[in-house]
Amino acid sequence: MNAAFPRNSILNERHIALGTKFESSWNGMPLPQFYATDPYDEVATVRSRAGLIDVSSLNLVNVTGPDAVALLDAVLTSDIGKMKPGQSAISNIVDDGGSLIDDVLVYRNGTDDFRLSHGSGKLEDVLAAFAGGRDVSVANDGDTHVLSLQGPLALDILTPHASIDLSTLKYFEHAPAELFGRKVTLARGGYSAERGYEVFSTAADTVFLWDAILEAGKPFGAMPVSWQSLDIVRVEGALLFFPYDMPKGDETPWEVGADWTVDLDKPAFRGKEALIRRKSEARVVQRGMEIDHHEQIEPGARLIKDGVDVGSLNSSIYSRHLMRSIALVHVRPDLGAFGTEFEVVGPQGTFTGRLVKTPFYDPLRLRTHPLEERG
């Protein structure tokens, strides 16, 4: 095993055949940042048909036992006890000072059975510290792989091969099932701002399922898509990525627009008192920005207003779909009005940017949350 990459996807040979040089890595796993195909062609496929991506580099943790809810409610900002089996929810974890240290997607499988998916933060360290004295098991899951089929035709591609009626699965719902005869968990969600489904499978079944999904998707124009295309569609959808959209390293949920993940009505949880105090102390607000340039602006560029440094450009892309250079930015709260213009200053030069509402793509989120599914 390569010491630099303690984790590897079972699909590495498939990725190499698609042209990747594993140009990046995340959570100790090499990533197919690029394939031989054009990332913009991949984006067009996700937006109009469906693209399949290997997101197995997510860290998965299984939390089970009679005290599972108590443990999760003690460390996460949202009220886990309110979740029903078969539901999932985005949550966050903060330190004692109220600063974000990880984002977490919680899947409730049963009364005392949870799967947590998280990025590169400190969730597992905190769970281990808070599990003491509780009747709970916390176990990292290095075997399960995650395939994500994203796009408007994803439902049509998977439906004939799934043992459950996927059309009844609402956003942020999941269920055990068989797909192409293999036992999996199917979850509706993803990171593309499109209707999509995530397939959780054992490593032993993942290569078969990857091939089967792509074969079933051929008549629909589906294709494998790289992490580069995933980054484009997630910025178009204004979906944050920890820690890249938290450049200070000590932002609160209030400062990144994640206040909806915080339930201050639930009993004490880690960082609650700090979050109450810091709610009125926000140093920045989360915004979207359009920039007058024909290319992506390098992340880290500074936002200047009247000669003063007032913010940062965090995630950015050039959207060929929208024909715009766009970014997710932080600015001082008093300068957060939509339409406010700034100088965007970085290695590429100085450009004009203005604050706009997000998401940039599908502003009403009709693709992921159709009107007929809303309460």
For residue 333, cis peptide bond before it (omega within 30 degrees of 0): no
CATH label of the domain that carries residue 351: 2.40.30.110
Q: Is residue 181 part of a domain?
A: yes
Measured from the Cβ of residue 165, the count of other Cβ atoms closer than 10 Å reads 10
Assess whether 319 and 172 both reside in one domain: no
Write phi, then psi, for 101 (nearest 5 degrees). Answer: -125, 0
The secondary structure of 279-340 as a DSSP string is: TT----EEEEEEESSSSPPPTT-EEEETTEEEEEEEEEEEETTTTEEEEEEEE-GGG-STT-
CB 15 within 8 A of CB 22: yes
Count Cβ neighbours within 10 Å for each residue of 184-209 and write b for 16 or more, e otherwise: bbbbbbbbbbbbbbbbbbeeebbbeb
Question: What are the C-alpha distances in Å from 186 to residues 162, 164, 200, 232, 371?
Answer: 9, 9, 7, 24, 22
Number of H helices, E strands in the chain: 8, 19
Predicted pLDDT of residue 2: 54
Total domain count, the chain: 2
Assess whether 150 and 30 both reside in one domain: yes
Predicted pLDDT of residue 120: 87
Assess whether 50 and 172 both reside in one domain: yes
Write phi, then psi, for 351 (nearest 5 degrees). Answer: -135, 165
Question: What are the C-alpha distances in Å from 359 to residues 114, 116, 290, 354?
Answer: 30, 26, 12, 15
Assess whether 228 and 299 both reside in one domain: no
Predicted pLDDT of residue 1: 43
Residues forming beta bridges with residue 62, ordered by sequence position: 115, 139
Assess whether 299 and 157 both reside in one domain: no
User: Residue 125: helix, strand or coil by DSSP?
Assistant: helix
Predicted pLDDT of residue 3: 57
Q: Is residue 29 part of a domain?
A: yes
Predicted pLDDT of residue 268: 92
**The dihedral formed by the CA atoms of 12, 16, 19 and 22, expressed in degrees to the nearest 10:** 60
Q: Which of 236, 269, 302 is the last residue of a domain?
A: 236
What range does the domain containing 173 cover?
12-56+144-236
**pTM, 2 dp:** 0.96
Q: Is residue 114 part of a domain?
A: no
Give the C-alpha separation, 174 to 29, whole Å: 26
Q: Which of 236, 258, 275 is the last residue of a domain?
A: 236
Of 351, 338, 249, residue with least CA distance to 286: 338
**Angle at CA of residue 86, ends 190 and 55, nearest 5°:** 25
Write phi, then psi, for 161 (nearest 5 degrees). Answer: -115, 5
Assess whether 157 and 24 both reside in one domain: yes
Assess whether 303 and 203 both reside in one domain: no
Q: Which of 201, 236, 271 is the last residue of a domain?
A: 236
Q: Is residue 111 part of a domain?
A: no
CA 334 vs. chain centroid, Å, equals: 29
Assess whether 40 and 159 both reside in one domain: yes
CATH label of the domain that carries residue 222: 3.30.1360.120
Residue-wise pLDDT for 158-171, tens only, equals 999 999 999 999 99
Residue-wise pLDDT for 218-230, tens only, equals 999 999 999 999 9
User: Residue 55: helix, strand or coil by DSSP?
Assistant: coil
Residues of the chain with pLDDT under 70: 1-4
Predicted pLDDT of residue 276: 98
Measured from the Cβ of residue 112, the count of other Cβ atoms closer than 10 Å reads 17
CA 285 vs. chain centroid, Å, equals: 20
Angle between helices 227-236 and 39-48 (to 10 degrees): 60
For residue 370, cis peptide bond before it (omega within 30 degrees of 0): no
CB 227 within 8 A of CB 31: yes
Q: Say which residues have a Cβ less than 8 Å from residue 328's Cβ, sequence separation at least 6.
A: 235, 238, 240, 245, 286, 287, 288, 289, 313, 314, 315, 316, 358
Assess whether 226 and 323 both reside in one domain: no
User: Residue 6: helix, strand or coil by DSSP?
Assistant: coil
